Amino acid sequence: MPLFGTDGVRGLANGSLTADLALSLAQATAVVLGQGRSAEARRQAGKRLTAVIARDPRVSGEFIAAAVAAGLASSGVDVLDAGVIPTPALAFLVADMDADFGVMVSASHNPAPDNGIKIFAHGGVKLPDEVEARIEAAMSGTKLQPTGAGVGRIRRFADAEDRYVVHLLQSLPHQLDGLHVVLDCAHGAAAGVSPETFRDAGARVTVIGADPDGLNINDGVGSTHLENLADAVIAHGADVGIAHDGDADRCLAVDANGKVVDGDQLMAILAASMHERGLLAEDTLVATVMSNLGLHRAMAERGITVKQTGVGDRYVLEEMNRGGYSLGGEQSGHVIMAKYATTGDGILTGLHIVAEMARQKKTMAELAGIMKIYPQIMINVRGVNREGVAGDEVIAAAVRAVETELGDTGRVLLRPSGTEPIVRVMVEAADKATATAHASKLAAVVKEQLALA
């Protein structure tokens, strides 16, 4: 099984993800990314490679980040240790400091026992699959082993957080005009940055989930547990709630009545605003195949094209880079605003959403009403040959029949898991009962046709 998944290397800290693995991965990264153009230019100027590293507050991040720093420095790379900051802050700082690459130690929305390692290339961009494969191959090859003055230095990046906050504030088109915002920081990396930034932008802020102890990250809080945020918004009479995940690359919201506003709705709000102001490049939004049919319809009504990609913000970003598009993201709350970020940025997204409330003088519910959400039913069909779904004519005929019946009032998506014997069957329709009936019928066909012996 490949070491890298859809978002870096992830696993149980001190289980599959050990200090030895982190050190070896860092050394291999120094070898592979040290061959790039920016690295060669730095060497020709008589300078060493530079990397920025950071982590979220989970306890295992301390030893994993230390192992990463050791692996890089032992390979002759100077390390700027930014400490606990969000993943998008790390990506921004790699570009802002003209570093050769960056390494983020985080498992995002996963529970505290897990951790992960995400690598960003020069410019703060995620690595393509082929570069990740080269790094994995290099782990079993010859490492760089300079001695004496050739080894790298590890220094504290003292003003990392301040640089990021200034960047966020400078991106805003409008102050937040005293709007009352409840922030759920998921006991994660947003805790030290998001409240300060929203206050500096002019919001009145109430904070929950901002007491990280290394073990409570994402524990009943954050973007995967919105019930506490909804309760807090109602209890405080706030205008809006913003939720981050553990490394703050996601943003979801709730309106003043506690109703959830998902990533599709957030993208619709931003796309419509940018389109109106002439800032939406090619009048196009990039979204994954999982985005709701309602998003497509709302955008079509406004003359905005929706480009679809596979699931994963890296694929959204690749399409954005190919087409020069300015906005993209996922239903889960990864939203990429290309003018200001190279990856999903939950704090940036939240700031711009609340700024739209202030600019348009509308409630969150009014803004979210830009699109109707079609019921979306997902069934995971387990114990099947996931690779057979694409070529099975019986399944294809069943899908065509459902699509014909739904017409333009729904859609069907069959998606094999990348790692498990699972096929995900998703059906959208005008009502939940119809979506459920069709999804169940298709799941039964998939199970019958592809069941493992």
Same domain, 331 and 196: yes
- 339 pLDDT tier (thresholds 50, 70, 90): very high
Domain termination residue (choose one: 368, 394, 424): 368
Same domain, 360 and 245: yes
Same domain, 430 and 340: no
Structure confidence at residue 45 (pLDDT): 67
pLDDT in tens, 110-164: 999 999 999 999 999 999 889 999 999 999 998 999 999 999 999 999 999 999 9
- Average pLDDT, stretch 169-198? 97
Chain centre to alpha carbon of residue 299: 22
- Average pLDDT, stretch 247-255? 97
Q: Give the C-alpha separation, 275 to 178, whole Å.
A: 26
Reported as type and span, the H/E element at residue 367 is: helix 364-368
Same domain, 298 and 312: yes
Q: Is 247 annotated as a binding residue?
A: yes
Structural domains in the chain (count): 3
Same domain, 194 and 238: yes
Domain termination residue (choose one: 342, 368, 394): 368
Catalytic residues: 108
Indicate whether 419 pLDDT > 70: no
- Domain limits for position 394: 376-450
Q: What mean pLDDT is reported for the chain? A: 94
Indicate whether 420 pLDDT > 90: no
Same domain, 184 and 279: yes
Count Cβ neighbours within 10 Å for each residue of 183-200 and write b for 16 or more, e otherwise: bbbbbbbbbbbbbebbeb
Q: Give the C-alpha separation, 404 to 407, whole Å.
A: 5
111 assigned to some structural domain: yes
Indicate whether 232 pLDDT > 90: yes
Answer for the pair 222, 244: CB distance below 8 angstroms, yes or no: yes
Same domain, 192 and 259: yes
pLDDT in tens, 368-393: 999 999 998 999 999 988 888 888 89
Same domain, 232 and 111: no
pLDDT in tens, 61-79: 999 999 999 999 999 999 9
DSSP state of 51: E
Tokens 């409240």 -> residue: 195
Answer for the pair 205, 175: CB distance below 8 angstroms, yes or no: no
Domain termination residue (choose one: 368, 401, 416): 368
Percent of the chain with pLDDT over 90: 83
Same domain, 361 and 411: no
Tokens of 59: 């306890």
Same domain, 223 and 321: yes
In angstroms, what CA-CA distances link 236 with 208, 229, 305?
12, 11, 39
Name the pTM for this structure: 0.90
4 assigned to some structural domain: no
Q: Quickly count: other Cβ atoms within 10 Å of residue 176's Cβ.
A: 24
pLDDT in tens, 7-24: 899 999 999 999 999 999
Sign of CA dihedral 310, 316, 318, 321: positive
Answer for the pair 370, 272: CB distance below 8 angstroms, yes or no: yes
Same domain, 437 and 309: no
